Chain A
Amino acid sequence: MLVLSRSHYQEMLDQARSGSPKEVCGLIAGEDKAQLRVIKKIYPLKNMDDSAEHFAMDPREQFTAVKDMRYNKLTLLGNYHSHPASPARPSQEDIRLAFDAGASYLILSLAQEQAPVLRGFRIQNGEVEEETIKIVEGNETDGASRL
C-alpha cells in the first residue's frame, strides 16, 4: 500500500490541472517499509515530450531529484504522470516502458473533470498489478508511518 498526504495529492493534482491538456510527470520519494510505502516528498519534473499523449522525464532532472532524495534520506518509490483525457490505468506504451520492477507507477486521470482519479500500479514483465493508495489528511504523513 502507498500512503500520501492530502497536500501531496493536491500538489500533484494542481500540477496536472495546470499542465492539462498536456501530460505532466514527476517522481515520488519516501519510506519503503515492507508492505507500506509512505510518500514524503514529490518531485514535479518537466515532461520533455511536451505532449498531450506522452511523457518522458529529463534524466538531468531525475539525477538531481535522486541526489536530493539521498541527501534527505528518502527512497525513490516510483513516479507519477497524468492522463488528461483517459482513464487512470497504464496504456500499452506505459507498460512497455515500465522498466523498474521496484517502482510504483501512479496515474492521475483528469478524464472526469470534477472527479479526478489517482491509482497506483506495479508493473513487472508486462504484468500490471494495482497497488492500493491511501490519502491521509493533513500535511504530514508521519501519522501514516505508524499505520
Chain B
Amino acid sequence: MEITVNGKKVNDIAEVSVEALLELLKVESPQYVTVQLNGEFLERDAFSATTVVNGDEVEFLYFMGGGDLAFTNEQMERYSRHIILKDVGVKGQKKIRNAKVLVIGTGGLGAPAAMYLAAAGLGTIGLADFDVVELSNLQRQIIHSTADVGKPKVQSGQETIAALNPDVRVVTYQERVTAANIAEIIRDQDYDFIIDGVDNFPAKFLINDACVLLQKPFSHAGIIRFFGQTMTYVPGAGPCYRCLFDAPPPPGVAPTCREAGVLGVMGGILGTIQATEALKYILGFGELLTGAILTFDATTMDFRRVKISRNRKCRICGENPTILELFDEELPVCETR
C-alpha cells in the first residue's frame, strides 16, 4: 500500500498500527510525538489500536516545550529566608539556581566562598585546585575536615558541598590552573562569574587576564596576616586587577601566607565578601566593588573602600593592550616549595 508521511509518499508498506509505523520510521521518543491522521488529531493511547491503511495521510511532530522547574516544597523551605527578601524572591532564587560560578582555589578564600554559594542554592559550582588537603590548611580552609587530610581538595570540597546542599552540581578540576588550561576550564561550563581564591600572584594575574580576554566578571581577593583586600571586575564596567597592579611584585618583596602567616578567619571575611559579590552580580542588584577596592584591617577593624578607575595604559584592558594572549607570570622560587 501507499501512504503519505509528513508530505512524503511511502510505498510498499504493510498495514501497521501508528505505533508500529513510528517504530518503522525509527522515530525516537515516540511518546512525545503528536500525530494527525488524515487531518485529525490522534490520541497517544490510540497509537497501538489505530491501523494505517492505503491512502492515509500521517503527519507527526515532536512536542516542543521547556522551562524552569518549580521549586519543591523542601526547596521553598530551604531557601525561604532568601525568598522573603524583596530583592531575591522566587525569581531571584531561580537566577541563583540557573547560575554557574567557578571557584579557583579551595583554600582560605575559596573554601568559605564555595560553601556559602552552595548553601545559597547555586546551580553549578566549579572547583579548581591541584592540591591535596594538609593539616596546616585546616586552621582556615573550613570546607575540609581532619579526615580529609591527604585527599584532593576538590574531592573534599565536592563531598562537603554534597552534604550541605544536594541541589548543587559540582564540577571539579584537579589541576594547576595555567595559561594553557584556564580558558578551557572557564569555557567548560560557560561560567557566569569567577572567584579568585588563589594564594599566589602569578595565578591572580592569570585569572585577571583570562577574565578580561574572555569578558567574564570575577572577584579578586587577597589575605595576609590580619589584612585583606578585594575588588570586583565586570567587563566594560570598571578597572581590572592589572589597572591597579601592573605586574606581580619582584620575588622576595611580598611574603606568602606560608611565610608570613594569616589569621584563619581572614579567609572567612574576605571569601564571604567574594560570595556576596557573586550573588549580587547574579541577582543583578546593589552596588558591586567595581571601580573600588575594599581593604580590611582586622587589627583595627577598619574597612576602607577606595575608589579606583580604569588605567588607560593598562596592558590588558587599556586603550592599546599589549597582552593579547594568556601567559604565566613567573612564580617566585620561594613559593614553589
- Taking CB atoms, residues of chain A closer than 8 Å to B69 are 91-93
- Taking CB atoms, residues of chain A closer than 8 Å to B63 are 56-57, 59, 97, 99
- Taking CB atoms, residues of chain B closer than 8 Å to A27 are 64
Q: A63-B59, A99-B29, A99-B32 are in contact. Are A89 and B190 (CB under 8 A)?
A: yes
- Taking CB atoms, residues of chain A closer than 8 Å to B94 are 53, 85-86
CB within 8 Å: A-B pair count: 87
B64 touches A79 (CB 8 A): yes
Range of interface residues on B (Cβ < 8 Å):
20 to 34
- Taking CB atoms, residues of chain A closer than 8 Å to B64 are 25, 27, 56-57, 62, 79, 97, 100
Report which B residues bind A (CB closer than 8 A): 6-7, 28-29, 32-34, 36, 41, 59, 61-70, 91, 94-95, 98-99, 190, 192, 284
Q: 22 A-B residue contacts at CB 8 Å? A: A23-B67, A25-B64, A53-B94, A55-B65, A56-B63, A56-B64, A59-B34, A59-B61, A59-B63, A60-B41, A62-B34, A81-B66, A85-B91, A86-B98, A91-B68, A93-B68, A99-B28, A99-B32, A100-B62, A101-B28, A103-B62, A111-B95
Closest B residue to A27 by beta carbon equals: B64
Range of interface residues on A (Cβ < 8 Å):
35 or more
Q: Which of A25, A53, A67 has its CB near the most chain B CB atoms (within 10 A)?
A: A53
Q: What's the Cα separation between A87 and B19 when bound, in Å? A: 38
- Taking CB atoms, residues of chain A closer than 8 Å to B190 are 89
Q: What's the Cα separation between A25 and B65 when bound, in Å? A: 9
- Taking CB atoms, residues of chain B closer than 8 Å to A111 are 95, 284
Q: Which of B7, B36, B98 has its CB near the most chain A CB atoms (within 10 A)?
A: B98
The 7 closest A-B pairs by CB, nearest first: A54-B67, A56-B65, A94-B66, A53-B68, A59-B34, A99-B29, A57-B64
